[in-house]
């Protein structure tokens, strides 16, 4: 199919080229240049796939499409992570060698000297064009997904074809591609799952809007949510790691509220942001953070602002990336980042502040180091406290990301040497942040949450590797913290409903998240890729796939294997109900404030 796609363009060119120009200098230049360009693209794809596999253990997918849009960050990241001049030189050298062989063998000579009538050229073009069009509309990249071993399925694909397949499936209409229930039944199941003591639904049968009440004395601390880039639970000693790369977080876990069985909803930062800010399951295709019409949604910030809090989003890079500023800015958050770019259609309805250059001590492709970002958070907290203004801060870190560079001399692992060093520096920066704020007058009344956006790698043998979604979450400095560990299986989307329960808040919500400490809570989590939608309940996993496919698997936590089992109709109904209603509410405006 890739060969046909490349050939079709040249076939159309030869069809329209007048015969008298066939042996002209112009045609030779166009032909040679086109051949050289196609070979260069193939060479580039080869090298790029090696780098992409090294990071994501996958052929080109939806992530590669995203990265093509954000060329500034991605090119700088590649340049700092790989020997780019050598790679480019190798690509050009190999392409030139192929071109030289074809030229010396006079491969093109017959074409330039041929005299093919238009009717025959038309027939040949049709013979090329017909299978190309058939392939575009009918050949699916998912045909390669016929093995229980995900690596085998990925290796069976072609990178260029996979890229354009992912581009084509940027957003998937749930109702066109996935198994469905009747709308009324789907909402009835979803409402039943979300029913809690002292919870009252207020908007009828096609809504999840409800009033949540938690008895007790209301507590109103400041809240700083630190969303840590790519921090898998596997990096902490508390979860079995013996490299001692998270001494601060492991020490903190002994003095904080620790979620030991929490799962991320997806494999990208925007999925983590979506889960933590909207408390909803992931919908197929793009994250809501990246979608159109994502302003004025009912976010965590909505509840804080109604309680009189200021809300601010902090990012160490340029918030243009992944549409972060557009999403947070148009959902009521002030912005503090390290960039000046705006999206072409970006019209922020809140304030945007750039972190001053004189306060930045280290910066790489993705942004400033975590220490500098935390200093910006502290300066902002000082200012808010001086105005007696309670605050909620959503902080997104970047240091634990390739190229894994950070300030020298901070830890005993050299900068740029790999993921372990980046994790240890990330942990070190958290320790420095806590040292600085413990003497602040606002510290005693401030809850600090540390949670991962997603794991460092979501790839494995299965399409959804459940263990690759396991993330740590710590709630520190919560005064009512007699409960030290929460072991119930839960999701990122349950974090704030649980926190508001511990703070005894009454609030209106349309979320899917729940207070995991309530006796009526039933363990479950959502784990998804951009196409595969997983619903995990204990060790049973329902997976919804395009073409209305549904699979039920038993998850072996020790081996991380998935074994197909007999259909569990109730589990399937729960999975369909949550994903279907979430998609419906977003598309119909039901997630708006």
Residues 147, 242 within the same domain: no
pLDDT-based confidence at residue 203 (cuts at 50, 70, 90): confident
Distance CA 419, CA 406 (A): 11
Residues 103, 190 within the same domain: no
Please tell me the predicted confidence (pLDDT) of residue 166. 75
> Residue 462 above 60 pLDDT?
no
* Beta bridge partners of residue 545, listed in sequence order: 549
Please tell me the predicted confidence (pLDDT) of residue 345. 54
Q: Is residue 124 part of a domain?
A: no
Q: What is the pLDDT of residues 572-587, one digit of tens each?
A: 999 999 999 999 999 9
Q: Is residue 503 part of a domain?
A: yes
Mean pLDDT of the chain: 90
Percent share of the chain, pLDDT over 90? 67
Q: To the nearest 5 percent, what fractions of the chain are helix, strand and coil?
A: 45, 15, 40
Distance CA 189, CA 570 (A): 10
DSSP string, 403-425: T----TTSSSS-TTS-HHHHHHH
Residues 363, 391 within the same domain: yes
**H-type alpha helices, 295-369:** 300-306, 324-329
In degrees rounded to 5, what are phi and psi of residue 66? -60, -45
Closest by CA to 391, choosing from 305, 507, 296, is 305
Hey, what are 241's tokens? 């790691």
Distance CA 475, CA 482 (A): 12
Q: Is residue 11 part of a domain?
A: no
When divided into structural domains, the chain yields a total of: 2
Percent share of the chain, pLDDT over 70? 94
By the 10 Å C-beta count (0-12 exposed, 13-18 middle, 19+ buried), 481 is classed as: middle
> Residue 461 above 80 pLDDT?
no
Distance CA 173, CA 176 (A): 5
pLDDT-based confidence at residue 159 (cuts at 50, 70, 90): confident
Q: What is the pLDDT of residues 334-392, one digit of tens each?
A: 999 998 655 555 566 778 999 999 999 999 988 999 999 999 999 999 999 999 999 99
CATH number, domain containing residue 256: 3.40.720.10
Please tell me the predicted confidence (pLDDT) of residue 86. 86
Please tell me the predicted confidence (pLDDT) of residue 531. 82
Strand, helix or coil for residue 384: helix
Give the containing element (helix H, strand E) for 62.
helix 62-69
Give the containing element (helix H, strand E) for 368.
strand 367-368
Residues 144, 105 within the same domain: yes
Q: Is residue 318 part of a domain?
A: yes
Is there a contact between 403 and 81 (Cβ–Cβ < 8 Å)?
A: yes
Q: Is residue 199 part of a domain?
A: yes
Distance CA 122, CA 505 (A): 72
Hey, what are 29's tokens? 């230049």
Hey, what are 523's tokens? 């363990």
Please tell me the predicted confidence (pLDDT) of residue 154. 84
Residues 217, 79 within the same domain: no
**H-type alpha helices, 108-246:** 109-113, 118-138, 150-155, 159-168, 174-177, 183-194
The Cβ of residue 158 has, within 10 Å, a number of other Cβ atoms equal to 18
DSSP string, 418-458: -HHHHHHHHHHHHHHHHHHHTTSTTGGGEEEEEEESS-S--
Please give the average per-residue pLDDT across 560-574, as a whole number. 90
Residues 485, 340 within the same domain: yes
Q: Is residue 220 part of a domain?
A: yes
Regarding predicted confidence, which is higher, 50 or 248? 248
Residues 145, 203 within the same domain: no
Please tell me the predicted confidence (pLDDT) of residue 423. 97
The structure tokens 């005693």 sit at 444
| pTM of the complete model | 0.79
Q: What is the pLDDT of residues 500-557, one digit of tens each?
A: 999 999 999 999 999 999 999 999 999 998 888 999 999 999 999 887 889 999 999 9
Which residues have C-beta within 8 Å of that of residue 344, sequence separation ≥ 6?
none
Distance CA 279, CA 586 (A): 13
Please tell me the predicted confidence (pLDDT) of residue 248. 98
- Dihedral of the alpha carbons of 295, 298, 300, 305, in degrees to the nearest 10: 80
Is there a contact between 17 and 27 (Cβ–Cβ < 8 Å)?
A: yes
Residues 402, 437 within the same domain: yes
Residues 278, 318 within the same domain: yes
Residues 45, 162 within the same domain: yes
Q: Is residue 460 part of a domain?
A: yes
Distance CA 325, CA 294 (A): 12
Please tell me the predicted confidence (pLDDT) of residue 169. 62
Residues 157, 198 within the same domain: no
Closest by CA to 230, choosing from 56, 355, 361, is 56
Q: Domain range holding 255?
A: 183-587
Closest by CA to 283, choosing from 578, 571, 558, is 578
Q: What is the pLDDT of residues 397-418, one digit of tens each?
A: 999 988 999 999 999 999 999 9
Please tell me the predicted confidence (pLDDT) of residue 172. 67
Please tell me the predicted confidence (pLDDT) of residue 323. 87
Q: Is residue 177 part of a domain?
A: no
Regarding predicted confidence, which is higher, 63 or 1? 1
Residues 423, 323 within the same domain: yes
pLDDT-based confidence at residue 234 (cuts at 50, 70, 90): very high
- Cα within 13 Å of Cα(526), Cβ side: 32
- Cα within 13 Å of Cα(588), Cβ side: 10
């Amino acid at each position: 199919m890739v060969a046909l796609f490349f050939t079709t363009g040249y076939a159309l060119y030869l069809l329209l080229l007048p015969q008298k120009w066939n042996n002209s200098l112009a045609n030779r230049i166009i032909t040679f240049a086109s051949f050289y360009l196609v070979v260069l693209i193939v060479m580039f794809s080869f090298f790029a796939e090696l780098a992409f596999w090294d990071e994501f253990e996958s052929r080109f997918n939806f992530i590669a499409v995203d990265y093509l849009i954000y060329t500034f960050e991605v090119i700088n990241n590649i340049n700092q992570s790989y020997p780019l001049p050598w790679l480019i030189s190798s690509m050009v050298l190999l392409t030139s060698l192929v071109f030289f062989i074809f030229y010396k063998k006079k491969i093109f000579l017959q074409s330039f000297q041929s005299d093919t009538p238009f009717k025959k050229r038309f027939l040949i073009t049709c013979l090329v064009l017909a299978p190309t069009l058939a392939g575009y509309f009918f050949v699916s990249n998912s045909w390669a997904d016929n093995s229980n071993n995900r690596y085998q399925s990925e290796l069976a694909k072609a990178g260029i074809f996979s890229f354009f397949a992912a581009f084509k499936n940027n957003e998937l209409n749930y109702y066109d591609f996935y198994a469905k229930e009747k709308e009324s039944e789907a909402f009835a199941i979803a409402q039943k799952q979300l029913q809690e003591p002292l919870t009252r639904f207020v908007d009828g049968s096609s809504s999840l809007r409800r009033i949540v009440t938690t008895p007790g004395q209301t507590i109103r601390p400041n809240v700083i949510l630190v969303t840590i880039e790519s921090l898998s639970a596997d990096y902490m000693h508390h979860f079995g790691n013996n490299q001692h790369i998270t001494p601060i977080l492991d020490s903190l876990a002994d003095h904080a509220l620790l979620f030991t069985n929490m799962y991320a909803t997806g494999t990208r930062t925007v999925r983590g942001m979506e889960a933590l800010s909207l408390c909803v399951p992931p919908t197929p295709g793009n994250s809501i953070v990246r979608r159109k019409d994502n302003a004025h949604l009912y976010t965590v910030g909505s509840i804080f602002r109604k309680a009189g809090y200021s809300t601010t989003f902090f990012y160490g890079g340029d918030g243009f990336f992944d549409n972060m500023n557009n999403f947070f800015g148009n959902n009521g958050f002030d912005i503090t980042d390290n960039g000046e770019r705006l999206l072409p259609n970006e019209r922020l309805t809140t304030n945007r502040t750039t972190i001053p250059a004189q306060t930045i001590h280290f910066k790489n492709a993705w942004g400033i180091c975590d220490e500098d970002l935390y200093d910006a958070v502290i300066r902002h907290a000082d200012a808010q406290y001086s105005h007696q203004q309670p605050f909620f801060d959503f902080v997104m870190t970047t240091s634990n990301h390739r190229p894994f560079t950070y300030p020298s001399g901070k830890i005993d692992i050299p900068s740029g040497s790999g993921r372990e060093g980046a994790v240890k520096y990330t942990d070190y920066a958290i320790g420095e942040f806590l040292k600085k704020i413990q003497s602040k007058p606002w510290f005693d009344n401030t809850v600090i949450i540390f949670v991962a956006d997603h794991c460092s790698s979501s790839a494995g043998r299965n399409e959804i590797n459940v263990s690759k979604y396991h993330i740590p979450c710590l709630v520190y400095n919560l005064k009512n913290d007699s409960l030290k560990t929460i072991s119930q299986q839960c999701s990122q989307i349950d974090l704030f409903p649980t926190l508001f329960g511990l703070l005894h808040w009454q609030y209106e919500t349309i979320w899917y998240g729940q207070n995991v400490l309530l006796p009526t809570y039933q363990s479950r989590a959502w784990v998804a890729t951009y196409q595969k939608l997983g619903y995990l309940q204990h060790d049973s996993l329902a997976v919804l796939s395009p073409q209305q496919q549904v699979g039920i698997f038993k998850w072996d936590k020790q081996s991380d294997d998935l074994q197909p089992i007999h259909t569990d109709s109730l589990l399937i109904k729960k999975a369909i109900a949550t994903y279907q209603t979430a998609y419906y509410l977003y598309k119909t405006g039901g997630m708006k404030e």
